[in-house]
């Protein structure tokens, strides 16, 4: 940093430096991914930009609607129809030119490689559906990255730290939550209803919860021992009520039957891109014959019509597809069946397709299994934000 640049850096953050234990350089270099640029996400992103977090990744698949504007400081009327993540990142850079926010306009599970999560210091979940939280929970647990789950209703909010050996989001799922989640899926796993679990909310509670989320995210990465002592522990859930005012922390119990705690271990970085590498390449790397690449999701390979036999190749994760795909355009009957795969071996026709053609995002981490032994490969480095 030149001395002029460092002077303006010191000036901008001079009020921070008066705070005991504050380390602006640590704040600036912390890598934070914000999942969801809705009501809470807008407030979180605003705060991170103001405070001087530079390495910010924003993920959202949605576009801006007029009904978002009552709770979204980063959006304007003229932004309607534009991707939330892209607009939020641009506004964050505007608020603070030090902030190098990048946007991923996509689904946090299927369009963000696990290597992108692995590259973060902490993830802040600002999501409004159970399904998105379940997906983010698995991505963070698999890559060993701590995450904060924020949630709001009109007068209540909660912030949970999910990290290490503590309880995860899935541990705390009740039967009613599973039922609510399953209502959105057809029996073949396709989405019936794209709408999130829209809850009545107002900007005040979003702002309160966002303030706590950002405060806690910075506390989690702080090196000052006094700050470390007062932060949440893994599995801690902070309940917030603003009517009447009330705040308390409870520890979430680990569910011993929870299956979400799998972690990728001994990940090998493959120098290359998902646009070139094929499942066959990974199979060769891992013992050849008998090895199989585990996709980690059900890939909808094709829709086949029971009535006329017509088949259409799809190659999209089934959860990203819509139940209307059952309609056959050739014979107009509504009887098309889904053909899916969850893993690919050398005998599969798909083994010579590129990983990107099979729906695998850049920097994703894939497991290859052979004789009951599994190895993890990350396909290319995280290119989001130039390998922060």
Distance CA 140, CA 31 (A): 14
| Interacting residues with Zn ion between 316 and 345 (CB under 5 A) | 328, 330-331
For 61, the 3-state DSSP assignment is coil
| Interacting residues with Zn ion between 156 and 175 (CB under 5 A) | 168, 170-171
- Of 210, 208, 201, 220, the closest CA to residue 246 belongs to 208
Handedness of CA 39, 44, 45, 50 (dihedral sign): positive
Which residues have a Cβ under 8 Å from the Cβ of 347 and sit 6 or more positions away?
none
- In the complex, least distance from residue 137 CB atom to Zn ion, rounded to whole angstroms: 8
The residue among 206 and 328 lying less far from Zn ion, judged by its C-beta, is 328
Distance CA 200, CA 184 (A): 19
- In the complex, least distance from residue 260 CB atom to Zn ion, rounded to whole angstroms: 5
- In the complex, least distance from residue 49 CB atom to Zn ion, rounded to whole angstroms: 32
- Binding residues with Zn ion: total (CB under 5 A): 12
- In the complex, least distance from residue 170 CB atom to Zn ion, rounded to whole angstroms: 4
The residue among 95 and 308 lying less far from Zn ion, judged by its C-beta, is 308
Strands 55-59 and 31-35: parallel
Distance CA 216, CA 125 (A): 12
The residue among 69 and 308 lying less far from Zn ion, judged by its C-beta, is 308
The residue among 303 and 344 lying less far from Zn ion, judged by its C-beta, is 303
- Is residue 306 at the binding interface for Zn ion, with CB under 5 A as the rule? no
| Interacting residues with Zn ion between 248 and 267 (CB under 5 A) | 258, 260
- In the complex, least distance from residue 310 CB atom to Zn ion, rounded to whole angstroms: 5
Which residues have a Cβ under 8 Å from the Cβ of 189 and sit 6 or more positions away?
298, 318, 319, 338, 340
Among 64, 130, 293, 305, binds Zn ion (CB under 5 A): 305
The residue among 200 and 256 lying less far from Zn ion, judged by its C-beta, is 256
Measured between its terminal Cα atoms, the distance across the chain in Å is 17
The answer to whether 28 and 52 are in contact (CB under 8 A) is yes
The residue among 235 and 359 lying less far from Zn ion, judged by its C-beta, is 235
- Interface residues with Zn ion (CB under 5 A)? 168, 170-171, 258, 260, 305, 307-308, 310, 328, 330-331
């Amino acid at each position: 940093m030149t001395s002029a640049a460092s002077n303006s850096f010191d000036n901008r953050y001079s009020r921070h430096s008066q705070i005991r234990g504050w380390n602006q350089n640590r704040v600036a270099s912390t890598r934070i991914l914000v999942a969801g640029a809705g009501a809470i996400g807008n407030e979180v992103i605003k705060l991170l930009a103001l405070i001087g977090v530079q390495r910010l990744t924003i993920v959202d698949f949605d576009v801006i609607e007029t009904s978002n504007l009552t709770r979204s400081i980063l959006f304007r009327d003229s932004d309607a129809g534009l991707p939330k993540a892209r607009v939020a990142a641009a506004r964050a850079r505007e608020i603070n030119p030090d902030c190098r926010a990048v946007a991923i306009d996509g689904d946090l599970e299927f369009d963000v490689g696990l290597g992108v999560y692995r590259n973060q210091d902490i993830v802040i979940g600002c999501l409004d559906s159970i399904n998105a939280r379940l997906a983010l929970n698995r991505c963070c647990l698999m890559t060993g990255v701590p995450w904060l789950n924020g949630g709001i209703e009109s007068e209540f909010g909660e912030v949970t730290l999910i990290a290490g050996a503590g309880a995860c989001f899935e541990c705390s799922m009740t039967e009613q939550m599973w039922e609510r989640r399953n209502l959105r899926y057809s029996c073949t796993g396709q989405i019936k209803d794209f709408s999130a679990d829209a809850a009545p909310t107002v900007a005040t509670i979003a702002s309160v919860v966002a303030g706590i989320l950002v405060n806690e995210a910075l506390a989690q990465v702080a090196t000052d021992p006094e700050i470390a002592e007062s932060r949440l522990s893994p599995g801690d859930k902070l309940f917030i009520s603003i009517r009447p005012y009330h705040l308390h922390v409870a520890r979430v119990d680990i569910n011993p039957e929870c299956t979400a705690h799998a972690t990728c271990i001994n990940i090998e970085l493959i120098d290359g891109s998902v646009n070139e590498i094929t499942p066959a390449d990974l199979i060769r790397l891992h013992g050849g014959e008998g090895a199989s690449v585990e996709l980690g999701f059900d890939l909808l390979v094709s829709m086949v019509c029971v009535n006329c036999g017509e088949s259409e190749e799809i190659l999209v994760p089934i959860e990203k597809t819509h139940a209307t795909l059952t309609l056959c355009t050739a014979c107009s009957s509504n009887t098309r069946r889904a053909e899916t795969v969850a893993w690919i071996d050398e005998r599969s026709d798909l083994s010579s397709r590129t990983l990107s053609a099979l729906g695998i995002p850049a920097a994703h981490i894939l497991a290859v299994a052979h004789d009951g032994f599994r190895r993890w490969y990350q396909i290319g480095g995280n290119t989001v934000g130039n390998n922060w």
